[in-house]
Amino acid sequence: MAANRETKDLLMDVNQLDFFDPQQDQAKTPSEPTEDVSITSEDMMLDELDPVSQAPVMRLTKKSDQPLLNGKSGTLNFQLGPLSSHNLAFVDGPNQHTIYPVSLPNIDNSPEFTEYASRLFEVYYQLGDHRQFSVPTIGVINKRSIGDHNQVVNLSMENIVNELRIFIENGREKDQITDRILDLEESLTILNCLQLIHFTLDNSFISEEDGEGRLKFIEELLNWVNRSDGEPNDSYIDQVFNISSKHVVETPLFWKLLNQLLLRGLFEQAIACIERSEILTYLDTIAECSVSASIIRDIISLLGIYPRDSSTTFREWKSLALELVNNFANSDTNVSGELRDYIEDVLLVISGNQNKILHYSKTWYESYCGLMLYYIPSLELSQEYLTMSLKINPLDITNNWEKACADIINGNISSILPTLESLDTCTAAFTAAICEAKGLLENPNDILNNNDSDFSYGNESLFSPNNGMATYLINNFALELCSHDDRDLWPISIGLIAISPMINGNSNSIKKATISELLLHYPFKTNDDIEWMLSICAEWKLPEVAKTLYTILGNQMLYQGNTIEAITNFSKGGKFELVKQYSWMMFEASILQDGPLDDQILNSIVSDDHSNIPEDVLDSLVTNAMRQTLAPYAVLYQFFQARDNKDWVEANRLLIALLSFPYLPKYYLVLLVTKFLYPIFLIEGAPKIEEQDVLLIIEALENKWDVEDERSQDLYSAVLEQLPVDVSRTLPEGMDKFINVVRKRLSFKLYEEFV
Amino acid sequence: MAGMKPFNSGHEDLIHDVVYDFYGRHVATCSSDQHIKVFKLDKETSEWELSDSWKAHDSSIVSVDWASPEYGRIIVSASYDKTVKLWEEDPDQPEGSGRRWTKLCTLNDSKGSLYTVKFAPPHLGLKLACIGNDATLRIYEALEPSDLRSWTLTSEVKVLPVPPANHLQSDFCIAWCPSRFSPEKLVVSTLDQASIYQRGKDGKLYIVAKLNGHKGLIRDISWAPSIGRWYHLIATGCKDGKLRIFRLVEKLSDNSSKDAINDSYDDEDVDMEDIAENKEKSLLGSSVSVELLSEHDDHNAEIWSVSWNLTGTILSSAGDDGKVRLWKSTYSNEFKCMSVITSNS
Q: Per-residue pLDDT tens for A277-311?
A: 899 998 888 878 888 999 999 999 999 999 988 88
A472: chain B residues, CB-CB within 8 Å: 331
Q: Is A541 exposed, middle or buried (0-12, 13-18, 19+ CB in 10 A)?
A: exposed
Q: What pLDDT, on the 0 to 100 scale, is given for residue A1?
A: 40
User: Among residues A685, A615, A613, A681, which one has the least CA distance to residue A653?
Assistant: A681
Measured CA to CA, the distance from residue B157 to residue B211 in angstroms comes to 18
Name the stretches of chain A with pLDDT < 70.
1-46, 135-143, 175-177, 203-211, 444-459, 504-506, 727-729
Which among A75, A462, A469 has CB closest to B331? A469
Contact B322 A98 (CB under 8 A): no
B102: chain A residues, CB-CB within 8 Å: none
Contact A559 B331 (CB under 8 A): no
Q: Which residues of A429-443 are buried (b: 16+ CB within 10 A; e: fewer)?
A: bbbbbbbbbbbbbee
The reported pTM is 0.87
User: Among A59, A72, A78, A464, which would you mutate to test the B interface (most chain B Cβ atoms within 10 Å of its Cβ)?
Assistant: A78
Question: What is the SS3 assignment for B29?
Answer: strand
A80: chain B residues, CB-CB within 8 Å: 307-310, 314-316
Contact A89 B122 (CB under 8 A): no
Which among A79, A516, A559 has CB closest to B73? A559
Which among B24, B313, B340 has CB closest to A86? B24
Interface check A580 vs B, CB under 8 A: yes
A461: chain B residues, CB-CB within 8 Å: 228-231
A487: chain B residues, CB-CB within 8 Å: none
Write out pLDDT tens, residues B35-69. 999 999 998 888 999 999 999 999 999 999 999 99
B30: chain A residues, CB-CB within 8 Å: none
**Is the pLDDT at B15 greater than 70, yes or no?**
yes
Distance from CA of A413 to the nearest CA of B (A): 15
Question: What is the SS3 assignment for A38?
Answer: coil
Q: What pLDDT, on the 0 to 100 scale, is given for residue A21?
A: 47
- Each domain of chain B, given as residue ranges in start order, spans 17-163, 171-253+275-344
User: Among residues A150, A152, A148, A160, which one has the least CA distance to residue A121?
Assistant: A160
A475: chain B residues, CB-CB within 8 Å: 228
Distance from CA of B23 to the nearest CA of A (A): 6
Q: What pLDDT, on the 0 to 100 scale, is given for residue A250?
A: 87
A529: chain B residues, CB-CB within 8 Å: none
Domain B17-163 in CATH: superfamily?
A: YVTN repeat-like/Quinoprotein amine dehydrogenase (2.130.10.10)
Closest residue of B to A584, CA-based? B146
Q: Tell me the pLDDT band of B330, cut-offs 50, 70 and 90.
A: confident
Interface check A90 vs B, CB under 8 A: yes
Contact A57 B316 (CB under 8 A): no
CB B39 within 8 A of CB B48: yes
Which among A40, A80, A516 has CB closest to B2? A40
Write out pLDDT tens, residues A650-687. 999 999 999 999 999 999 999 999 999 988 888 888 88
Q: What pLDDT, on the 0 to 100 scale, is given for residue A3?
A: 43
User: Among residues B80, B103, B73, which one has the least CA distance to residue B34?
Assistant: B80
Q: What pLDDT, on the 0 to 100 scale, is given for residue A736?
A: 86
CB B249 within 8 A of CB B288: yes
CB B63 within 8 A of CB B115: yes
B181: chain A residues, CB-CB within 8 Å: 513
Contact A82 B310 (CB under 8 A): yes
Q: B283 vs A755, which has greater pLDDT?
A: A755
CB B119 within 8 A of CB B93: no
Interface check A101 vs B, CB under 8 A: yes
Q: How far is CA A648 from the centre of its chain?
A: 66
Closest residue of B to A556, CA-based? B72
Contact B342 A91 (CB under 8 A): no
Q: How far is CA A680 from the centre of its chain?
A: 66
Instruction: Tell me if B17-163 shares its fold with B171-253+275-344.
Output: yes
B69: chain A residues, CB-CB within 8 Å: 552, 555-556
Closest residue of A to B291, CA-based? A454
User: Among residues B165, B106, B163, B103, which one has the least CA distance to residue B131?
Assistant: B163
Interface check A458 vs B, CB under 8 A: yes
Interface ipTM: 0.91
B35: CB partners within 8 A, 6+ apart: B11, B12, B53, B54, B55, B56, B61
B71: chain A residues, CB-CB within 8 Å: 555
| DSSP label at residue B44 | T
Contact B1 A560 (CB under 8 A): no
| DSSP label at residue B190 | E
User: Among A90, A436, A533, which would you mutate to test the B interface (most chain B Cβ atoms within 10 Å of its Cβ)?
Assistant: A90
Distance from CA of A236 to the nearest CA of B (A): 36
A88: chain B residues, CB-CB within 8 Å: 18, 20, 27
Interface check A33 vs B, CB under 8 A: no
Interface check A290 vs B, CB under 8 A: no
Which among B6, B69, B329 has CB closest to A65? B6
Distance from CA of A185 to the nearest CA of B (A): 20
Q: What pLDDT, on the 0 to 100 scale, is given for residue B281?
A: 53
Interface check A683 vs B, CB under 8 A: no
Interface check A518 vs B, CB under 8 A: yes
Interface check A37 vs B, CB under 8 A: yes
Which among A75, A88, A479 has CB closest to B304? A75
CB B18 within 8 A of CB A99: yes
Which among A80, A97, A518 has CB closest to B314? A80
User: Among B324, B328, B337, which would you mutate to test the A interface (most chain A Cβ atoms within 10 Å of its Cβ)?
Assistant: B324
Interface check A442 vs B, CB under 8 A: no
Which strands, in side-by-side order, build the sheet including B114-119? B114-119, B127-132, B136-141, B152-158
Contact B314 A85 (CB under 8 A): no
B22: chain A residues, CB-CB within 8 Å: 82, 521
Which strands, in side-by-side order, build the sheet including B286-296? B218-223, B231-238, B243-252, B286-296
Task: Check whether the bond before A232 is cis (ω within 30° of 0).
Answer: yes
Contact A89 B343 (CB under 8 A): yes
Contact B309 A80 (CB under 8 A): yes
Q: What pLDDT, on the 0 to 100 scale, is given for residue A302?
A: 94
| DSSP label at residue A291 | H
A46: chain B residues, CB-CB within 8 Å: 342, 345
What's phi and psi for A750, nearest 5 deg? -65, -45
Contact B18 A94 (CB under 8 A): no
B23: CB partners within 8 A, 6+ apart: A82, A521, A523, B69
What's the whole-number average pLDDT of chain B?
A: 89
The alpha carbon dihedral of A360, A364, A370, A375 has a sign of: positive
User: Among A517, A580, A667, which would you mutate to test the B interface (most chain B Cβ atoms within 10 Å of its Cβ)?
Assistant: A517
For B171-253+275-344, the fitting CATH number among 2.130.10.10, 1.10.760.10, 1.20.200.10, 3.40.1260.10 is 2.130.10.10
